[in-house]
Amino acid sequence: MGIIIGWILCKKIFIKNLDINQKFDDYITYLIIGIVIGGRLGYVLFYNFNYYINNILDIFKIWQGGMSFHGGLLGIIIASILFAKKNNQDLFVYTDLISLVAPIGIFFGRLANFINSELYGKVTEVPWAVTFVQVDNLSRHPSQLYEAIFEGIILFILLLYFRSKNFLAKPGLISGLFLIFYSVFRFCIEFFRVPDEQIGYLIFNLSMGQIISLVFIMIGTIVFYLKNENK
């Protein structure tokens, strides 16, 4: 659903360059491949390496679950680099467009996580706590909905605001802002979310998601700074 809506928005509203519009369908194919491969390998490498190194064939059993957003993001970046290089175009022209609509996909993805009782939050007594009966009978933070709101709706509104300020005139600014805002939201919401059982908390009592988010905050800041300096 998110991919379809994002494709429509890009084709009908955001893309002003005819050449890019004509090539965008091919770009989406690259992205889907990047998301699937990157998301899966990201989960294998970042979240459950010890298991998969001893069960190599299970890496290909995607239907059993196990995808990483950060891995999918890396897959998108690599796919975008390959596509831009193939077509001799600016990488950030494409990543800016995807950054504008990515929050839509995140929104629907987190709603699916909520419905499926995945990536649930910590035990709490807040009035809006939710009981995930497929997990246990405890009241928990609906952390998936926190992410849907902040990483989806609010992030989408923020990026649309910066687009209205003509940030697309400098390719790379929107991409940098996406990495920064998404990662900040993700880092904060991780405090309310149960860490992956097989990893738990790592250095400074941070989750793997928080550590990776810090890396992307730095990358986003560097991209935004360098592209904003370009005249």
**Cα pseudo-dihedral 53, 59, 63, 66, rounded to 10:** 60
Quote the pLDDT of residue 7.
66
- For 188, residues 6+ apart whose C-beta sits below 8 A from its C-beta are 150
Asked which of 13-27, 32-46, 131-145 is least confident by mean pLDDT, the reply is: 13-27
Mean pLDDT of 39-67: 87
- 8 A C-beta contact, residue 92 and residue 76: no
Using DSSP, state whether 24 is helix, strand or coil. Answer: helix
Mean of per-residue pLDDT scores for the chain: 87
List pLDDT tens digits, range 157-215.
888 888 787 777 888 899 999 999 999 999 999 999 998 877 888 889 999 999 999 99
The pLDDT value given to residue 5:
75
Closest to 46 in 3D by CA, of 67, 76, 32: 67
Q: What pLDDT is stored for residue 8 in this prediction?
A: 73
The helix (run of H) or strand (run of E) holding residue 130 is strand 130-131
For residue 20, the model assigns a pLDDT of 73
Residue 219 or 4, more confident: 219
pLDDT bucket at 149, cuts 50 / 70 / 90:
very high
Q: Average pLDDT for residues 79-88, to the nearest whole number?
A: 91
Of 223, 226, 150, the C-alpha closest to 192 is 150
- What number is the average pLDDT over the span 89-111? 88
Question: Could you say which DSSP state residue 140 is in?
Answer: E
Rg (CA), the chain: 18
Per-residue pLDDT, averaged over 124-138, amounts to 92
Residue with tokens 């810090």: 214
User: How much is the pLDDT for 123?
Assistant: 94
Alpha helices in 116-153 (DSSP H): 143-147
Residue written as token pair 């007594």: 125
Quickly state the pLDDT bin for 70 (edges 50, 70, 90).
confident
pLDDT for res 14: 65
CA distance 6 to 99: 10
Name the more confident of 61 and 15: 61
pLDDT of 1 reads 64
Work out the pLDDT band at 224, boundaries 50, 70, 90: very high
Report the SS3 class of residue 115. helix
